[in-house]
Amino acid sequence: MSTNAAKNLFIYGSLLCFVVLVILTVDTMGKLDKRAPEITEQVNAGKKVWHKYDCIGCHTILGNGSYFAPDLTKAVERKPKEYLKKFIMDPRTIKPNSAMPKLGLSEKEADNLIAFLDWMDKVDTNGWPPKPILAGAISGKTASTGQMLFQKNDCSACHQINGIGGTAGPDLTHIGNVRPDVEWHIRHLKDPDTVVPDSAMPSFHHLSDEDLRQIGEYLITLK
Ligand code: HEC
Ligand code: HEC
């Protein structure tokens, strides 16, 4: 290659790379805007409440914060807003032995905070945080139908089995010892209130009787 050709290769090569870089940057900036909905005044007020009560001292949001309590980036996707509001204002009305203290938020502060969490929920995080590695997957055995239904219906968003899953509901690792009756589980899944007064667990009455039975059969094997 002559010196001239090498020079041209360097100049046009650099130029090409620079143009590609500019195009990619513009493309990314354009997409970033669309990844989060508009920040309203209430969302802003909610973020201030978030800081005022130091929620981040126990929780994470977008991965930032402390690991004492569950991540709240997608809290609104997992729980009804009414439930969250009640919980945030006084956790022990929902979970009698909740590890979260009553922080003394006013009703207005709670509403603002829910608006903030709602905004956070709509931010496109590219699938983050990952769903809990589903509880059954670690047993090493082939999953039974009931175990697959447990995963499919996201029970592990609220329940732990062998240390994996959410903490909003009780740990189910040994539920088969405590509740060995399939019929009890079917009734509980269909309409939790009939067997656990004031239960905070959502009803799964939309599942077929056969599916509920399969889940029950799986639960009583957890010993
Ligand atoms: C001292 C630590 C602590 C602080 C501070 C704290 N939390 Fe919690 N929070 C917890 C723990 C622990 C849980 C897990 C469930 C339980 O034990 O009740 C929880 C659970 C929750 C849940 C329920 C999650 C679910 O999936 O059911 C929400 C919502 C929540 N916290 C919001 C907040 C908000 C909002 C703040 C700030 C106003 C806050 N928390 C401050 C410890 C804390
Ligand atoms: C939104 C959170 C949430 C989801 C999702 C959820 N649960 Fe629950 N679950 C709870 C709470 C809170 C309780 C405690 C109140 C009660 O017993 O009804 C509970 C209780 C239970 C209990 C009784 C534990 C005991 O010792 O009495 C079982 C069994 C159970 N859940 C199974 C399931 C199964 C199976 C699924 C999925 C089909 C599921 N849960 C989905 C929140 C949840």
Tens-digit pLDDT profile for residues 22-72: 999 988 888 777 888 889 999 999 999 999 999 999 888 988 888 777 889
Residue pair 162/154 in contact by the 8 Å Cβ criterion? no
Mean pLDDT, residues 169-183 taken together: 94
- List, for residues 137-175, the tens digit of each pLDDT value: 444 456 789 988 998 888 887 888 988 888 878 999 999
pLDDT at 132: 56
Residue nearest to atom 7 of ligand 1 (CA): 100
Output the CA torsion 48→98→102→75 (10° steps). Answer: 20
Q: Is the pLDDT of residue 188 over 50?
A: yes
Residue pair 102/92 in contact by the 8 Å Cβ criterion? yes
pLDDT band at 79 (very low <50, low <70, confident <90, very high): confident
pLDDT at 135: 44
In the chain, the largest separation of any two C-alpha atoms, in whole Å, equals 87
CA 28 to chain centre: 26
Q: Is the pLDDT of residue 100 over 90?
A: no
Query: Cis before residue 192, ω within 30 degrees of 0?
Result: no
Dihedral sign (CA 208, 209, 212, 217): negative
The two structure tokens encoding residue 68: 């004492």
Pocket test for ligand 1, best of 77, 100, 119, 156 (most atoms within 8 A of CB): 100
Residues in contact with ligand 1 by the CB-under-6-Å rule are 53-55, 57-59, 68-70, 72, 75, 78-79, 84, 87-88, 91, 95, 98-101, 103, 113, 166-168
